[in-house]
Amino acid sequence: MDLSSLIGMLLGIIGLVTGLLVGGADILIYADLSSVFITIFGSFGALMITHPLQRILMMPQLIGIIYRGRKYEEEKLIAHLVSFSEKARRDGLLALEDDLDAIEDPFFRKGIQLVVDGTDPEIIKMILYTELNKIEERHEGNYLMFDDWGKTAPAFGMIGTLTGLIAMMRRMEDKLAIGRGMAQALLTTLYGAVLAYLFLIPFKRKLEMKSNAETLVKEILIEGVLSIQAGDNPRILEEKLYTFLPPSRRESLRDEMTKT
Amino acid sequence: MDLSSLIGMLLGIIGLVTGLLVGGADILIYADLSSVFITIFGSFGALMITHPLQRILMMPQLIGIIYRGRKYEEEKLIAHLVSFSEKARRDGLLALEDDLDAIEDPFFRKGIQLVVDGTDPEIIKMILYTELNKIEERHEGNYLMFDDWGKTAPAFGMIGTLTGLIAMMRRMEDKLAIGRGMAQALLTTLYGAVLAYLFLIPFKRKLEMKSNAETLVKEILIEGVLSIQAGDNPRILEEKLYTFLPPSRRESLRDEMTKT
Amino acid sequence: MDLSSLIGMLLGIIGLVTGLLVGGADILIYADLSSVFITIFGSFGALMITHPLQRILMMPQLIGIIYRGRKYEEEKLIAHLVSFSEKARRDGLLALEDDLDAIEDPFFRKGIQLVVDGTDPEIIKMILYTELNKIEERHEGNYLMFDDWGKTAPAFGMIGTLTGLIAMMRRMEDKLAIGRGMAQALLTTLYGAVLAYLFLIPFKRKLEMKSNAETLVKEILIEGVLSIQAGDNPRILEEKLYTFLPPSRRESLRDEMTKT
Amino acid sequence: MDLSSLIGMLLGIIGLVTGLLVGGADILIYADLSSVFITIFGSFGALMITHPLQRILMMPQLIGIIYRGRKYEEEKLIAHLVSFSEKARRDGLLALEDDLDAIEDPFFRKGIQLVVDGTDPEIIKMILYTELNKIEERHEGNYLMFDDWGKTAPAFGMIGTLTGLIAMMRRMEDKLAIGRGMAQALLTTLYGAVLAYLFLIPFKRKLEMKSNAETLVKEILIEGVLSIQAGDNPRILEEKLYTFLPPSRRESLRDEMTKT
Amino acid sequence: MDLSSLIGMLLGIIGLVTGLLVGGADILIYADLSSVFITIFGSFGALMITHPLQRILMMPQLIGIIYRGRKYEEEKLIAHLVSFSEKARRDGLLALEDDLDAIEDPFFRKGIQLVVDGTDPEIIKMILYTELNKIEERHEGNYLMFDDWGKTAPAFGMIGTLTGLIAMMRRMEDKLAIGRGMAQALLTTLYGAVLAYLFLIPFKRKLEMKSNAETLVKEILIEGVLSIQAGDNPRILEEKLYTFLPPSRRESLRDEMTKT
């Protein structure tokens, strides 16, 4: 579980609701079917014009990723790469073939497979970086979907408020009705703003960060695989990969290394 | 057909209309000729100042592209390139001449033609990348047209609202007339917002994505053509082009390869 | 004449005016001297703080460029370069000296002059690209002037509206006067918006595009001049320059070539 | 102490409060618990969705950095590097080992350690630049946290104002209550704006600048370490590092050099 | 004197004031001490949090630079460099030592000094470009200070308006007082807008342009110094530096050259 995201979401909702209760408002007045249609369905329609069906359908899965904890453990990965480097220097690159099936990450496995196959280093580099770039492009497509929706939702909120205001102003005889009409009209803007600022935009930023974290892991892997093939000194490799981590986590790496 | 774009457009319109009906508004009050003139014609005029006539006239065609399904099938293309690579290694580059007429994509045909003509690899690379860059520039010009209009339409909506408010405020004696005048004035802003956020901006984003998809195809082609000329191993070529696809589509590529 | 820009401007103005007339407004109520002073003179003053006098004085000339038709004909240029390439291969680079005076474009003439003088290719490349960069920088300075004004004009419109509102609110006894005061106040915002969105911002975008079109021509010229000096095959040169044009215009190039 | 930041914060608060007192307002009317919940807790919740818990918890520490004075003294650093350069040329690179423990900055010590170990220059360069890039990425993550909050706070202010307006408009019978309701509603927008513009955005900009200042120090260090390893002339090294400082501080560097 | 900036500032102020007088407003109603505190002192406080004291204190000096005329004369500089180039080819690089003291620009003098000292061309290039980059960074820090203030001032204007509106709405019994209260409240927004759009943002843009102009001069100098050291033909050097100037100023360069 990604605790921060979960607590954040709860805190945001609780903050809003408590604020309303403390201010003495009746929560029920904020529920409105018409606003759901205009703001949520309307902006979702605009989103579907832009993004392919396939990506739209991935949305629940992407939201799942936001609340799921990190699955990458760079420390373990570095320890793994260094042990491969030692083995390769001791027993030759072909000796790594036995460990291939034990590698879970398909990107890592592919890199070692290419090394074992004796592929040219330039081609390995090109294949792994192309793969990384394409992964980043797919991730970007995904989080920009939330960004697009986050920009469209307030616009549809405004559209709903405009339609509401126009309808209201056509019947301005009844003063009390004006207030109710205006309240109704502003509800769509409220829906758009909450949808965008409490959900969609934070979702986009979170996915962007998770994507950056994955890119870091892939960079460590590419650097490691190429060093293993080049037969670099495992100590130098460790030193290099070490720099990818924040100082606070280098301690835990040291522990990891002594375990292996 | 691009189902997502079509469903999205319908969903957006239905969401808006249903929201209005559920809210009890009369749809007819939103029809206004004056607002069409100011917002749509006005902003279209501003657009024509910027973009050449030729591109303006392409607009219906570009909207057609949005709703048309993908025509690129990367899997087939990669299979095609790999089979060319095998043939070239077996029978020499000149043997590809027989297949030239069967290639539909003019960019692909041009690449193979240059290879068959024995053109220098550096020149082929330069010609194909220049061609790709110019294609991207033309696409960008096209989708930025929708972007420009999408930014101008709300501005003209605001201009219309200002003119309406000013006219209304000059005759503030009649209280009911104020309401009607204001309703009228806000209609242009509504028109500008719907035009921009339900149509133009999603159109721009969709064309941008379709352009990126085409660029991907062209990158695969350039990579493939240069590999064929260099006489690379077809297996390595396959491995390279493979990385351009998302993992989910690599399976279908495997199937494609065994068919060929 | 640049038809699109002219029609666009007329359409924008007609759209606005017709919209007002259809809406039943009196056009004369939108004329206001005070708003001209605050919005137009005020924002023009802010513009003059930023840009040098020399560039400010070029404004009418730059607007002229917007409405003037294209003067570049890439097709002719490419045919010209190819014929030079043929001549240079047949009779030597020095033979081009006779044609120098017939070249109208000073950039083109300079390039050929440098070739005839036997200047080192690296230095020619450096001189022509520096020249191109400096041309682009000057163009950018010019169109950013319209951009700056386009951003400042709405701000001064808002300043005028604020001053108007403040003056009005100090004498709120007379209800009808409030309406008139508010109408007056909003006029400056209207002036700022029309100035920016119907004129300045489209002007900026148009000049930007014209600058890009000129850059394209210069790139063709540099590529051509360097190829001529290097003694490249005229067919290859033609093929290279060909790619700079959109497919629709390549036909007309073919015609041009057979004429020469 | 960073005097400018401290004075700035006080001046901002005093400016606001004095302005209110001079205008005759009662400061107490601006305190509101409901607005704290909606604007501050709500936007903080949205922030927590985006950023990892670990970074959120660093917030007080980061604010501490803003008000702490500069700890980097480039002049001393350059003098230090030049004296190392002289020692290395006189007594060999290994002689630097004795000074290792006296170096406080871990980045500096790591660089000299690598030199003493006889590591390949390319690898030293790669390790130090990777380290620098990762430091910059971590800093960016930190100051973008304040940026994200600075953008979200006004949005939650608007959300609070919308909820307040909607609640108020549902009971428009009492005219005086309208005023109070509206005043209440606007408080959240006020909270959001003060939080963002007086605290969060200046904090972000300040941290960004402190990060740039640290990058400068690290660049000087990398340049220095690589020059020492290459055995460059200490006078040339001094001249090089000299250019990193503004002219006004070069004098103090001269003084520093003569002291050493 | 920079005439354009001076005229612009006067025109902006006169435009505003005349517009108000023509509109029949009383200028005195716009003077308000409370607004000065909130908008000007408040936003200046926020600015001081961000920028170091030293840079804040440079503000009057930077405004002086805006109104001061250009001190760079590229034509003279190019003539100077070409004459040095001729001398160096005739009498050797060391002969330039006699002219060192006559060079006013410290950047130019430093370049020639390095040449006379026989420094390696790569190191000269590196030192001069580092110096240029650091100059640009300092300039950027300076003009971004005006940019930051220009963005913060309207925000504090809005904060002041919010506080004013809130205070006013708490005592809505007196209808005339409402108008006065609202007028008061809007004054801060007015102050913020005038400060930003008539002063700070144009100041930022002007300083940005002056910085670009200085960069151009420095680029000419670096290009010239390196050419002199390489012993390039003075005619080629002239031709190269020539391209840095707009065509309109090349004539005056020709005149300058014949004088020398």
In this predicted complex, what is the ipTM?
A: 0.87
Region of A65 on the Ramachandran plot (φ > 0 left; ψ -120 to 50 alpha; else beta)? alpha
Please name the chains neighbouring D, where neighbouring means 3+ C-beta pairs under 8 angstroms: A, E
The pLDDT value recorded for residue A132 is: 95
- CA B238, B243, B247, B249 dihedral sign is negative
Q: At how many degrees (to 10) do helices D59-67 and D121-169 cross? A: 110
* Residues of chain C with C-beta less than 8 angstroms from the C-beta of E198: 42, 45-46
Contact B183, A170 (CB under 8 A): yes
Q: Which residues of C touch B39 (CB under 8 A)?
A: 19
A84: Cβ contacts below 8 Å, ≥ 6 apart: A96, A99, A112, A224, A228
Distances (CA, A) of D105 to D71, D96, D111, D116, D219: 11, 15, 10, 17, 14
Range list of H helices, chain C: 3-22, 33-35, 42-50, 53-57, 59-67, 74-91, 106-116, 121-169, 175-194, 201-230, 234-242, 247-259
> What is residue E245's predicted lDDT score, i.e. its pLDDT?
87
**B chain contacts of residue A156, beta-carbon cutoff 8 Å:** 197
pLDDT at C28: 87
Beta carbons of E30 and C166 less than 8 angstroms apart: yes
DSSP string, D137-159: HHHHHHHHHHHHHHHHHHHHHHH
A129-162 per-position pLDDT tens digit = 999 999 999 999 999 999 999 999 999 999 999 9
Q: Are C112 and C84 in contact (CB under 8 A)?
A: yes
Contact at 8 Å (CB) between E153 and E192?
yes
Whether A14 and D36 have beta carbons less than 8 Å apart is answered as no
CA-to-CA separations, D189 to A30, C222, D186, E188, in angstroms, rounded:
19, 57, 5, 16
Q: Which residue has the tokens 């006029």?
A: C187
Of residues E72, E98, E83, the one with CA closest to residue E216 = E72
Instruction: Give phi and psi for A42, each to the nearest 5.
Output: -60, -50
Confidence of residue A259 (pLDDT cuts 50, 70, 90): low
Q: Check whether D250 has a pLDDT greater than 80.
A: no
Tens-place pLDDT, residues D38-59? 999 999 999 999 999 989 999 9
| DSSP3 helix / strand / coil % (chain A, rounded to 5) | 85, 0, 15
Using the 8-state DSSP alphabet, how is residue B27 labeled?
G
With pLDDT > 70 as the criterion, what percentage of chain C qualifies? Answer: 93
**Has residue A115 got a pLDDT over 90?**
yes
Mean pLDDT of A101-119: 92
Structure tokens given for D121: 């220059």
Alpha-carbon span E4 to C46, nearest angstrom: 10
> Distance of alpha carbon A46 from its chain centroid, rounded?
22
Q: Which residues of C104-136 are buried (b: 16+ CB within 10 A; e: fewer)?
A: eeebbebbbbbbbeebeeeebbebbebbbebbe
Closest C-alpha to B117, from B3, B229, B4, B242? B229
Nearest alpha carbon to residue C79 among C259, C257, C258: C257
Per-residue pLDDT of chain B (260 residues; tens, 9 = 90+): 788 899 999 999 999 999 888 877 788 889 889 999 999 999 999 999 999 998 999 999 999 999 887 666 888 899 999 999 999 999 999 999 989 988 988 899 999 999 999 999 999 999 999 999 999 999 999 999 999 999 999 999 999 999 999 888 877 667 777 888 888 889 999 999 999 999 999 999 999 999 999 999 999 999 999 999 999 899 989 988 988 888 877 776 666 666 65
Interface test with D, best of E38, E49, E109, E184 (most D CBs within 10 A): E49
* DSSP conformational letter for C94: G
- Predicted pLDDT of residue E71: 61
A72-86, A245-259, C130-144, E144-158: which range is least confident on average? Answer: A245-259
Please, are residues E149 and D8 in contact by the beta-carbon 8 Å criterion?
no
Q: Has residue C23 got a pLDDT over 90?
A: no
Q: At what angle do helices D59-67 and D201-230 cross, to 10 degrees?
A: 80
d(CA B242, CA B246): 9
Q: What is the Cα–Cα distance from D84 to D223, expressed in whole angstroms?
A: 13
DSSP C23: T
Q: pLDDT value at position C22?
A: 84
pLDDT digits (tens, 9 = 90+) for D190-224: 999 999 999 999 999 999 999 999 999 999 999 99
Task: Give the rounded percent of residues in chain A with a pLDDT score beyond 90.
Answer: 64
Q: Looking at B248-257, C11-20, E71-80, which range is the least confident one? A: B248-257
Q: Read off the pLDDT of each residue in A71-98 and give the average, rounded to a whole number.
A: 89
Please tell me if residue D41 touches chain A, with a CB cutoff of 8 Å.
yes
Q: Is the CB of E20 inside 8 Å of chain C's CB atoms? A: yes
Helix (H) or strand (E) holding E243: none
Residue (of C76, C124, C130) closest to C102 by Cα position = C76
Whether B169 contacts C183, CB under 8 Å: yes
Are the CB atoms for B22 and A37 separated by under 8 Å? Answer: yes
Asked if E68 and E2 count as a contact pair (C-beta separation under 8 A), the reply is yes
Whole-prediction pTM value?
0.90
CB A123 within 8 A of CB B236: yes
Is D65 touching E (CB cutoff 8 A)?
A: no
CB of B69 closer than 8 Å to CB of B2: yes
Q: What is the DSSP string of B123-181?
A: HHHHHHHHHHHHHHHHHHHHHHHHHHHHHHHHHHHHHHHHHHHHHHHTT-S-HHHHHHH
CB contact under 8 A, B30 and A166: yes
Mean pLDDT of D125-140: 94
Which one-letter DSSP state was computed for residue E95? Answer: G
Q: How far apart are CA C207 and CA C218, in angstroms?
A: 16
- Measured CA to CA, the distance from residue A165 to residue B179 in angstroms comes to 10
Q: Look up tokens 């260099």; give the residue.
A: B230
Distance CA(D223)–CA(B120), nearest Å, equals 42
| Cα–Cα distance for residue pair C113/C133, rounded to 1 Å | 20
pLDDT tens column, E214-238: 999 999 999 999 999 999 899 989 9
| Alpha-carbon gap: C122 to the closest alpha carbon of chain E (Å) | 12
Residue of C nearest to E243 (CA): C131
With CA atoms as reference, report the closest residue to A67 among A130, A10, A118.
A10
Are the C-beta atoms of C42 and E202 separated by less than 8 Å?
A: no
Q: Of the candidates B53, B106, B159, which has its C-beta nearest C190's C-beta?
A: B159
Closest C-alpha to D108, from D258, D217, D254: D217
In single-letter form, the type of residue at position A1 comes to M
User: Rounded to whole angstroms, how far apart are CA atoms A213 and A207?
Assistant: 10
Residue of A110, A129, A142, A115 whose CA lies nearest to A215: A129
Question: Torsion angle, CA of D241/D242/D245/D247, rounded to 10 degrees?
Answer: -170
- Spatial CB neighbours of E161, under 8 Å, sequence gap ≥ 6: E185, E186, E188, E189
- Residue C188: its chain E contacts at CB < 8 A? 19
* C138–chain E Cβ distance below 8 A for any pair: yes
Contact call for E and C: 3+ CB–CB distances under 8 Å: yes
Q: Which of E15, E179, E240 sits opposite C37 (nearest CB)?
A: E15
Structure tokens given for A55 = 């990506």
Subunits adjacent to chain A (3 or more Cβ pairs under 8 Å): B, D
Q: Residue A245 phi/psi, 5° resolution?
A: -95, 150
Query: What is the per-residue DSSP string for D174-240?
Result: -HHHHHHHHHHHHHHHHHHHHIIIIIIHHHHHHHHHHHHHHHHHHHHHHHHHHHHHHT--HHHHHHH
CB of C113 within 8 Å of any CB in chain E?
Answer: no
Q: Which residues of C touch B48 (CB under 8 A)?
A: 4-5, 7-9, 11-12
Q: Please count the CA atoms within 13 angstroms of the CA of C65 that sit on its side-chain side.
A: 19
